[in-house]
Amino acid sequence: MATQKELNISPVGRVEGDLDVKVYMEDGVVTRAHTQAAMFRGFEKIMQGKDPQAGLIVTPRICGICGGSHLYCASSALDTAWKTTLPPNALLLRAIGQATETIQSIPRWFYAIFATDMANKKFANKPLYDEVVKRFAAYVGTSFQQGVSASGRPVEVYALFGGQWPHSSYMVPGGVMCAPTLKDITRAHAIMNQFRKDWLESLWLGCSIERYMQIKTWDDLMAWVEENDSQRNSDLGLFIRASLEFGLHKFGQGVGKFIAYGTYLHKDHYQKPTVEGRNAALISRSGFFDGKKYHVFDHLSIKEHVGHAWYADVPAAHPWDEPMPTPLQSHTLADSNFNEKYSWSKAPRYMDMAAEAGPLARVLMNANPDNLLPHQVFDPLFGDVIEKLGTNVFTRTLARVHEAARLYTQIDEWLRQVDLNDEFYIKPEERDGKGFGATEAARGALAHWIEIEDGVIKNYQVMAPTTWNVGPNDDRGNPGPIEAALEGTEIEDPHDPVEVGMVARSFDSCLVCTVHAHDGKSGKEMAKFKL
């Protein structure tokens, strides 16, 4: 007779509040899972009735890591609503801000959030385990401190132009509120060069950025790993070899559908911002991949469901058409009825389908050979990787760390393109209307929708990448991406369910410093893990 068990894990992480997970297991394999966002934020309600520019101050406070991404969306939403004109310098400095915030997250996330799990005793019988512990163990690993320290360099560049990081407000409708000098640009180059020398090439790649960016297929990547000792023994080389040895490519599949809004608007193609003209101006492309074919991204195909969220029931609707949410009574993980409402997160759907947001989604869009414009990124690697390995914990993590080399190159190029003698801001004319601003935060697709009436905010909706990933069942009972990714996961030790954490972490679900596991029936704490 099969052994059935339920496991409540609270918290797994913190993304817009604590993330809790309930899994149902049969003979140690997860047969069903529910994610629960356990904290109400209500930023949309804060915005109602405020001056339209309130979003520039308020929304960067939504997140301490992705504040620049929220600022990017808030200013972009007003650009489209107010029909501003953006000078090329403004588009360059916004792109530099967005990219430095994203690249800083790569070593910080990899060492402090994800790789430390590879040092879990679950893998102690693997040949590479001792080397993984030596380098990736939390705090004491030889690479841990070096990688986390290096992650501070790119946001020094952000602060040069934004005045501070996080929670800057230097991006505004019509441009940016800074006018850098040659000294600022020179200093930014020097800081990024230090990042490359201290970590990116010396520790992470074991080769030049230029050599790494020659990789176009999975076979190329594996040949690169074995090309010499420097690359094989680099942290990326060790991560790839250990992941395959530990079996990280065998669990955490997910829904197999992906969404990316794209980011980095080209300086010569978006000086008159419009929602309709955004796709063609993007450098890192937008799109929806349904598992078989690519679709052109259209934000009007997005709807949010609240049938299983603690809000008053309304029909699934596009964010411009959603009413301000009316919060209802919430429950703890142990007391929730998962056939009814069980999360503070809404359930976004694209063309009525759940979709995964994040680095894997955007590198897949960059592998799309169709509708490609000369200024846009084309990188076929992950089209081939997904075809050969599918979606799983390993490929999701590999997608994120793969972005480091390209982002460094783009930041370096954009710094060289800033024209210090040209303008950085053109004062816009305020008007009523609707706006849409979007970007790719480190964790994936992020968007703000605004409606302005009588000079104040009538409606403001924020949809974060984690909303896409941790959302609950939709109104028809279809699971969200992390819920789906947990199904089929084999949990070796229910007292130390590291596999659940690894699946959630591969989505960058903001797991922070502790995980507590509780028995769902007794409420007794079963285990406690501290990084």
What is the tens place of the pLDDT at every residue in 455-468?
A: 999 999 999 998 99
500 annotated as ligand-binding: no
Q: What is the arithmetic mean of pLDDT over 254-281? A: 98
Phi-psi region of 63 (alpha: psi -120 to 50; beta: other; left: phi over 0): beta
Considering Cα of 175, then 178, then 181, then 187, what sign does the dihedral take?
A: negative
Q: Mean pLDDT over all residues of the chain? A: 92
Question: What does the pLDDT look like over 1-57, one tens digit per residue?
Answer: 678 889 888 777 644 447 889 999 999 999 999 999 887 778 888 899 999 999 999
73 annotated as ligand-binding: no
Burial of 276 (0-12, 13-18, 19+ CB in 10 A): exposed
DSSP per residue, 58-103: HGGGG-SSSHHHHHHHHHHHHHHHHT----HHHHHHHHHHHHHHHH
The predicted pLDDT at position 16 comes to 45
375 annotated as ligand-binding: no
Measured CA to CA, the distance from residue 207 to residue 190 in angstroms comes to 20
The predicted pLDDT at position 531 comes to 36
189 annotated as ligand-binding: no
DSSP per residue, 126-155: STTHHHHHHHHSTTTSTTHHHHHHHTHHHH
Tokens of 154: 């790119």
Question: What does the pLDDT look like over 361-399, one tens digit per residue?
Answer: 999 999 999 999 999 999 999 999 999 999 999 999 999
pTM for the whole thing? 0.94
462 annotated as ligand-binding: yes
The predicted pLDDT at position 228 comes to 98
Check whether 95 has a pLDDT greater than 90: yes
Q: Are 20 and 9 in contact (CB under 8 A)?
A: yes
The predicted pLDDT at position 510 comes to 56
Letter for the amino acid at 34? H
Rg of the chain over CA atoms, in angstroms? 22
What are the chain's domains? 5-514 (1.10.645.10)
178 annotated as ligand-binding: no
Output 531 or 102, whichever has higher pLDDT.
Answer: 102
Check whether 402 has a pLDDT greater than 60: yes
Strand locations in 140-241 (E): 171-172, 175-176
Output 237 or 344, whichever has higher pLDDT.
Answer: 237
**DSSP character for 233?**
T
Check whether 122 has a pLDDT greater than 70: yes
The predicted pLDDT at position 71 comes to 96
Work out the angle at residue 364's Cα, subtended by the Cα atoms of residues 291 and 252, and round it to the nearest 5 degrees.
Answer: 65
Question: What does the pLDDT look like over 289-305, one tens digit per residue?
Answer: 999 999 999 999 999 99
Which residue, 148, 169, 149, is CA-closest to 158? 169
Measured CA to CA, the distance from residue 391 to residue 382 in angstroms comes to 10
Q: What is the arithmetic mean of pLDDT over 188-210? A: 98
In angstroms, the Cα distances linking 426 to 79, 93, 162, 423 are 11, 14, 18, 8
The predicted pLDDT at position 505 comes to 87
Check whether 495 has a pLDDT greater than 90: no
207 annotated as ligand-binding: no
